[in-house]
A and B are shown apart, each in its own frame.
Chain A
Amino acid sequence: MNRERPLVLGIESSCDETGVGIVRGDELLANTVSSSMDEHVRFGGVIPEIASRAHLDAMIPTLRQALDEAGVTLEDIDALAVTSGPGLAGALMVGVCAAKALAVATGKPLYAINHLVAHVGVGVLDGGTLPQNLGALLVSGGHTEILRVKSLTDDVELLGATIDDAAGEAYDKVARILGLGYPGGPVIDRIAREGNPKAIRFPRGLSQPKYMGTAEQPGPHRYDWSFSGLKTAVARCVEGFEAAGQQVPVADIAASFQEAVVDVITAKAMLACTENGISNLLLGGGVAANSRLRALTEERCAAHGISLRVPPIRLCTDNGAMVAALGAQVVMAGGEPSGITFAPDSSMPVTSVHLPPVR
């Protein structure tokens, strides 16, 4: 196998995007994504069975298009990579089965890749090798995590995560409460610009001393987030205005909600960085597109002397290129292929960057 600049094809199907990406080393050749988002709109959130059906329909056309775009054939590929978790079980299954079949058909080695670490690995496609003392803040509809990345291919640690809703989910639910439709992120971001972020003081979850503790004696959720209470607070606020017969100040609520989310995310991320020797931060996941999150992360990173890297947004949202990119890094680091007997793992931990072969 070419381990110098391997040509790797990556498949992603952990949520509602079917992605196939092709990279050569750290160079992006193709990144084809088919999303079932439109089919979830009327439900106000991702429906796993609908996403799984859409993955099956989209997989081969997406694969074909990626190969065409990259101008390569399956025969040219050095290795295959696929998201094996975390994610929706039925959705992961489609990508894993397709990837295993490609491995059987072509005889190429297959790497089972961690989706969350792939959100970090995609960084190499935009600016090359990632810096030392690296942390990653991942915010999307499916996850909210802060990671310490000592080695992209074999030493990743989860410092904190949401204990209930993902930040993107909170946006979707609040958008629904405010009657703004789905997905909630872009529309709340837009409307928030017309509102006053200080109009209403919404709670910052898990920020009380009993959860935070101190740097020396950390509490149980020092770097963790919770967004379900915030969602309830928004609902109460809206009902309060309605009960009083007043017009609901949608823009002010949107702005205040967004401020609460972004404030607590970045405050805890900064704490995690400064207390764990992280001096370089990568921001990833679909919510990296949020203007306020980007602005406040930039501001607070600058204040703490932390360098910030944000990949282009098409690489931040779920895609196959990130899976291919991390797969290529694992290949270049001499990692063993995962074989074709592994099971998808909907709660794959970040400590498992790629699955070892089953012996």
Chain B
Amino acid sequence: MLILSVDTSAIASAALLTGEGQILRAFATEDTRTHAEVLAPGIRALLDEAAVAPAELDSLVVGVGPGPFTGLRSGIATARALAFAWDKPLHGVMSLDAVAAQAAPAARAAGQPEYIVATDARRKEVYWARYGTAGSAVMGTAGDAVLPELLDGPHVGPASEVPPLPAYGRGAGLYPEQLAAVAGFEGVQPTAEALGRTAAARLARGLPLLDTTPLYLRESDAKVPGPRKRAL
């Protein structure tokens, strides 16, 4: 099985992986403001370098956020158009799951039954969710470490409102005074690689994935205008 994974909830990234979660090719850019420029060329190069024809793909997955709106949409718009043109199934994965999967082995090793994943939501806030290391993971199965259980979230808000648990991800690194940032994970952002592995593990176990509705978590800033201001 071949999966193309895309995430633009923070950085822009894409990955080509097998159903067992083995990464064949991946690309990622640190720049968070040029998603519309780099994503399509990145995906084209990925397929070319891996010598994979679109017909060989089984499905696509895309990170549905939460993430800054414009960047987030660029990945979802791209994935939806690719899936439409190739006539392939497209699934959504909550983007914080990607960081949670990377954090899970460390959290287990540290004996943390619960932990927080936080990413940068700008405006002095974080996107965050609470995960558990026990419970859903089936020990001994390939990829079990990448399936921590989502207990609460995703949310958006100031770091001060996040539960006091070990915190993983760039959001934790940005607010070390409010969050118990775990060393070595202060800069971790969602990537298509980690996201794709999460999706592959869920698909392998017959667990459901999301649709591709973006998780904005915030309303648009629009305000209904008040009564007319006087010009005189």
Which range holds the interface residue count of chain B? 35 or more
| CB-based contact B37/A343 at 8 Å | yes
Question: B42 to chain A: closest CB distance in Å?
Answer: 10
A42 at the interface (CB under 8 A from B): yes
**CB-CB contacts below 8 Å: B32-49 with A:** 34-41, 43-44, 47
| CB-based contact A177/B81 at 8 Å | no
Binary contact readout A146-174 vs B (1 if CB under 8 angstroms, 0 otherwise): 00000000000000000000000000000
Chain B residue nearest to A99 (CB atoms) is B81
Question: B57 to chain A: closest CB distance in Å?
Answer: 10
Binary contact readout A28-58 vs B (1 if CB under 8 angstroms, 0 otherwise): 0000000000000011100101101100100
A348 at the interface (CB under 8 A from B): no
**CB-CB contacts below 8 Å: A45-100 with B:** 47, 49-50, 52-53, 56, 59-60, 63-64, 74, 89-90, 93-94, 96-100
Question: B82 to chain A: closest CB distance in Å?
Answer: 5
Question: A108 to chain B: closest CB distance in Å?
Answer: 10
* Chain A residues with CB below 8 A from B82, complex form: 101, 104-105
| CB-based contact B85/A101 at 8 Å | yes
A194 at the interface (CB under 8 A from B): no
| CB-based contact B81/A101 at 8 Å | yes
Chain A residue nearest to B85 (CB atoms) is A105
A49, A63, A176, A235 pick with most chain B CB within 10 angstroms? A49
* Chain A residues with CB below 8 A from B36, complex form: 93, 96-97, 100, 343-344
Question: B85 to chain A: closest CB distance in Å?
Answer: 3
Given contacts A64-B84, A177-B228, contact A341 B37 (CB under 8 A): yes
Chain A residue nearest to B69 (CB atoms) is A49
**CB-CB contacts below 8 Å: B6-65 with A:** 34-41, 43-44, 47, 54
B38, B39, B80, B231 pick with most chain A CB within 10 angstroms? B231
- How far, in angstroms, from A94 to B44 measured CA to CA in the complex? 18
B39, B40, B80, B214 pick with most chain A CB within 10 angstroms? B40
How many pairs of residues, A versus B, come closer than 8 Å at their CB atoms? Answer: 119
Question: A83 to chain B: closest CB distance in Å?
Answer: 13
* Chain A residues with CB below 8 A from B228, complex form: 176-177, 235
Q: Tell which of A42, A53, A344 touches B224, judged by Cβ atoms closer than 8 Å.
A: A42
Interface residues of A (CB under 8 A from B): 42-44, 47, 49-50, 52-53, 56, 59-60, 63-64, 74, 89-90, 93-94, 96-106, 176-177, 232, 235-236, 239-240, 243, 340-344
Identify 19 new A-B residue pairs, CB closer than 8 A, beyond the known A64-B84, A97-B75. Answer: A42-B224, A43-B222, A52-B69, A53-B214, A56-B76, A74-B85, A90-B70, A93-B73, A97-B35, A97-B36, A100-B36, A100-B78, A101-B77, A104-B44, A105-B82, A176-B225, A176-B228, A340-B44, A341-B38
The 9 closest A-B pairs by CB, nearest first: A105-B85, A101-B81, A49-B220, A100-B40, A235-B231, A47-B222, A97-B77, A98-B81, A101-B78
28 contacts between A and B (CB under 8 A): A42-B224, A43-B223, A47-B220, A47-B222, A50-B220, A52-B70, A56-B80, A56-B214, A60-B84, A94-B73, A97-B75, A98-B78, A98-B80, A100-B36, A100-B39, A101-B81, A103-B40, A104-B40, A104-B43, A104-B44, A105-B81, A176-B225, A176-B228, A235-B231, A340-B44, A341-B41, A343-B34, A343-B37
